Amino acid sequence: MRVGELLALRTDDIGENAIRVDKSLDRTGVIGPCKNVPAYRTVVLVDVEGQAAIKALIQFAKKHGLVFRSKQDRPLAETTILTQGLHPALKALSLAKAGMHAFRRGCNRGWELARVSSAVIRQHMGHATADMTALYTGEIPIEQVSKHLQLEPMEQPKQRSAAVTICLLERAMGIEPTSEAWEA
């Protein structure tokens, strides 16, 4: 979900297995329409992690209305989340400073590595076109994955195909490589 969609989320948008996305918070703090027609969607969460997320959201919200709200019961501002939460947490973990959009890109990449259909990814992301979803696609440098997963450094060739890189990422994530490139 986009940050504006999250910040406009109300308790009645959360169902047993899904979250309804039908509004967004704009940069001026006003809740209004979503960014585009495909942004109006239902995000289904039936896996164990999704069910845990829904349960945590319901417990977090505690009262009817906005899920993420300020002390004054107004929508929480993205800058507050960044300055008081995300950026200090990233600094404490010695990670590079990033914004909320990094989570969308991370979800997209994770689904991609899990071989989720691009049409399903597009629907969950609320993208208007396959081209937009393709912009989120990208190769994560294996050195970065190794560093964050604290893997032993590997001797690596200067150039490698995208298929071999995906196989290395799958191996690093504990997924059995499926590409024929792994055999090469």
Per-residue pLDDT tens over the stretch 81-140: 888 888 888 888 888 888 888 878 877 877 777 788 888 888 888 888 888 887 776 655
Residue type, 58: I
- As a residue count, the chain comes to 184
182, exposed or middle or buried, with CB in 10 Å at 0-12, 13-18, 19+? middle
pLDDT for 107 equals 79
pTM: 0.66
Q: Which residue has the tokens 């937009």?
A: 132
Q: Do residues 21 and 42 touch, judged by C-beta distance below 8 A?
A: yes
Q: Do residues 100 and 86 touch, judged by C-beta distance below 8 A?
A: yes
- Which letter does DSSP use for residue 13 in this model? G
Compute the distance between CA of residue 17 and CA of residue 51 in angstroms, rounded to an integer.
Answer: 7
Compute the distance between CA of residue 90 and CA of residue 104 in angstroms, rounded to an integer.
Answer: 17
